Amino acid sequence: MAEKPSGNDDPSGLSAAEVRRTALYITLNQVPTGTVITYGQLADLAGLGRAARWVGRTLSQLPEGSSLPWHRVIAAGGRLSLPAGSVSGDEQRARLRAEGITVQNNRVDMRRHGWRPIEHCG
């Protein structure tokens, strides 16, 4: 007992980094269609605390077969972090629009599409 092999100490066979990344994928998968979420909130909901930066980087390094709604992840205030004109930026706008989300000037209405988990007191 009390063994701590440097590398992976997860009974599931997943490294700590893998678990974190998986948590992010799962949380991102929880985001319903036609809804958007911010990096900070996604990190918080994933249990990563305030690792908004880490989330942004992880999403930027997503594998080709992730099939995750990365386009639903935007910056705070409902602003798109991806610049219009870029491949991912253009695709993000197209996908959001295809889901019924109106994007104007790199801005999305969090009031209408902002994901609200259970909290309705506000």
Partner DNA sequence: TCAAAGGCGCCAA
Partner DNA sequence: CTTGGCGCCTTTG
Find out whether 110 and 75 touch, Cβ atoms under 8 Å. no
Longest dimension (CA), the chain: 57
Work out which of 25, 54, 70, 115 binds DNA, going by CB under 7 A: 54
Q: Quote the CA–CA distance of 114 and 36 in Å, as a whole number.
A: 5
CB of 23 to DNA, least distance (A): 10
Work out which of 14, 22, 32, 50 binds DNA, going by CB under 7 A: 50
Work out which of 14, 32, 33, 57 binds DNA, going by CB under 7 A: 57
Q: Which is nearer to DNA, 34 or 56 (CB)?
A: 56
Stretch that binds DNA, among 28-36, 70-78, 90-98, 113-121 (CB under 7 A): 70-78
Q: Which residues pair with 63 in a beta bridge?
A: none
The tokens describing 87, both together, are 């491949």
How far is the CA of 25 from the CAs of 28, 30, 79, in angstroms? 5, 9, 21
Binding region for DNA (CB under 7 A)? 6, 17, 20, 38-40, 48-54, 56-57, 60, 75-77, 81, 105
